Amino acid sequence: MAVTDHVDLNGFMEGVKKRNPHQPEFVQAVQEVAEDIFEFMEDKEEYHSQQILRRIAEPDRVVSFRVCWEDDAGNIRVQRGWRVQNNNAIGPYKGGIRFHPSVTESVLKFLAFEQTFKNALTGLPMGGGKGGSNFNPKGKSVREIMRFCQSFMTELYRHIGADIDVPAGDIGVGGREIGFMFGQYKRITNNFTGVLTGKGLEWGGSLIRTEATGYGAVYFLENMLATKGENLEGKTAVISGSGNVATHAAEKIVQLGGKVLTLSDSGGFIHDPDGIDQEKIDWVKTHKTHRRGRIEEYVEAFPKATFHAGKTPWGVPCDVALPCATQNELLGEDAKTLVANGCRAVSEGANMPTDLDGVHTFKAAKILYAPGKASNAGGVAVSGLEMSQNSERRSWKEEELQQMLKDIMSGIHNSCIRYGDQGGGYIDYVKGANIAGFKKVADAMLAFGVV
């Protein structure tokens, strides 16, 4: 047997930090996974000798490119675009595109790394990738957004393909932007193919893709509560964000008998003690998505609510919490507050919304805590089903898709139990998700040899 010098967790992380200077989000995501994987690998010589984690934490490639576009006033604007293709051991690269001024190479590398494990957990054949730009869609006209999307795709098209890399939406990229990008892809390549997911229903999209991430996060929450003999009936929920994931998570909580107390955006959060019912959720969807408004205007429409400028909602006492806005929006102190206020379950709709301190706090308190790579996988899962429908050139029925989404979320929950059950009624979902996702990708990589 080959004798290998193993580095320990600290040594491994030192190397990751050295190789990725000024990339704190990427280092954070790797650390969260490595903490669990090092323990799991302890007696698995092959994973060590084949340097599997080191290889997964080095993207297959990072493509960076210039995106030029002309604004309505005739000014030439220059943005940076990226596609990070992290790992395609189990299927074509797959993952969303984010347009937000906070986008950096570090943010997209963390997202592509997380996506690799998440996609493996769905059980569908998808590798991990992510892309985006520091373009800020806020305050831009529809024609400016169209020109930007076209310019972005004019470079991206050469790196993607239905069997190569299949992007979708994320922050700042919804159905409209996917439409503009798909239109440009088709125009350049003359190829009508399932190269993007989240498409419109008339041109190859799948039913329930829009709702899938938020609904899936709530199905996962229900699965977790069921392990304690509980459900959402009568429970209070605190949700952050007011975009695609947040509004659909809120909708499913209301459908299952829960009461949603908060929503937020980058300006602050609104607290509605009467509960945010379906009518109010519809108002938020129209106001935020179609009119691109601010959440603070909610209190004008529903005067019993209050707006808290520049704050996150974690101080509002609740039974369950769903961070659905962005990374590092729930810090160690917030986690302590939630636990002290009696919060029993946290299901992440966003990617890495909880910082490492917060993760450690939830783990130490042994509450039901699902990391995004498990609980928000419903979106990419239905994207995978959209790819299957495109390959078949058919569209499946809504009931079939609803059932498949529920089954996939239960399957992920079972995988988390399999590798995360700590005994005494405590399931470490972070550990379970990390190990189950890692194992699938790692075993595929072993089969391929050193490539």
Which sequence positions are flagged as catalytic?
130
Binding flag, residue 95, ligand NDP (CB under 6 A): no
Residue 226 CB neighbours (<10 A): 12
SS3 356: helix
Residue 200 CB neighbours (<10 A): 12
Entry field: residues in the chain: 451
Residue number with the smallest Cβ distance to ligand NDP: 243
Residue 94 interface partner, choices ligand NDP, ligand 2IT, none, CB cut-off 5-8 Å depending on type: ligand 2IT
Q: Which residues are CB-contacts of 172 (< 8 A; sequence separation ≥ 6)? A: 98, 99, 100, 135, 137
Binding flag, residue 95, ligand 2IT (CB under 6 A): yes
Token pair in block for residue 390: 């495109």
The site that binds ligand NDP (CB under 6 A) totals a number of residues, namely 25
Residue 280 interface partner, choices ligand 2IT, ligand NDP, none, CB cut-off 5-8 Å depending on type: none
Residue number, 25 or 170, with CB nearest to ligand 2IT: 170
Give the range of 38-46, 296-304, 361-369, 376-384 binding ligand 2IT by CB under 6 A.
376-384
> In degrees rounded to 5, what are phi and psi of residue 175?
-55, -40
Binding flag, residue 170, ligand NDP (CB under 6 A): yes
Residue number, 361 or 383, with CB nearest to ligand 2IT: 383
Beta bridge partners of 131: 83, 97
**Binding mask of the shown chain, residues 319 to 358, with x at each position contacting ligand NDP by CB under 6 A:** -----xxx--x-------------------xxx-------
Give the range of 37-45, 199-207, 265-273, 333-341 binding ligand NDP by CB under 6 A.
265-273
295 neighbors 242 (Cβ within 8 angstroms): yes
Q: How far is the CB of 425 from ligand 2IT (least distance, A)?
A: 30
- How far apart CA 11 and CA 247 sit, in angstroms, is 42
- Strands (DSSP E) along 31-136, which ranges? 61-70, 76-87, 93-99, 128-133
Binding flag, residue 172, ligand NDP (CB under 6 A): yes
Residue 350 interface partner, choices ligand 2IT, ligand NDP, none, CB cut-off 5-8 Å depending on type: ligand NDP
Residue number, 27 or 350, with CB nearest to ligand NDP: 350
Interface residue with ligand 2IT, options 30, 107, 149, 168 (CB under 6 A): 168
- Strands (DSSP E) along 189-240, which ranges? 236-240
79 neighbors 148 (Cβ within 8 angstroms): yes
Binding flag, residue 137, ligand NDP (CB under 6 A): no
**Binding mask of the shown chain, residues 220 to 259, with x at each position contacting ligand 2IT by CB under 6 A:** ----------------------------------------
Binding flag, residue 86, ligand NDP (CB under 6 A): no
> 155: exposed, middle or buried (C-beta count within 10 Å: 0-12, 13-18, 19+)?
middle
Q: Which residues are CB-contacts of 433 (< 8 A; sequence separation ≥ 6)? A: 117, 121, 370, 371, 373, 374, 412, 415, 416, 420
Interface residue with ligand 2IT, options 84, 380, 430, 433 (CB under 6 A): 380
Token pair in block for residue 425: 């009624």
Interface residue with ligand NDP, options 245, 250, 321, 339 (CB under 6 A): 245
129 neighbors 94 (Cβ within 8 angstroms): yes
Residue number, 24 or 267, with CB nearest to ligand NDP: 267
- How far apart CA 93 and CA 107 sit, in angstroms, is 17
- Please report, as residue ranges, which positions from 334 to 363 form the binding site for ligand 2IT (by CB under 6 A): 351
Residue number, 154 or 240, with CB nearest to ligand NDP: 240
- Which of 241, 268, 244 has its CA nearest to residue 260? 241
Residue number, 197 or 236, with CB nearest to ligand 2IT: 197
- Please report, as residue ranges, which positions from 30 to 89 form the binding site for ligand 2IT (by CB under 6 A): none
- How far apart CA 355 and CA 330 sit, in angstroms, is 6
Binding flag, residue 96, ligand 2IT (CB under 6 A): yes
Binding flag, residue 243, ligand NDP (CB under 6 A): yes
Binding site for ligand 2IT (CB under 6 A): 94-96, 115, 168, 170, 197, 351, 379-380, 383
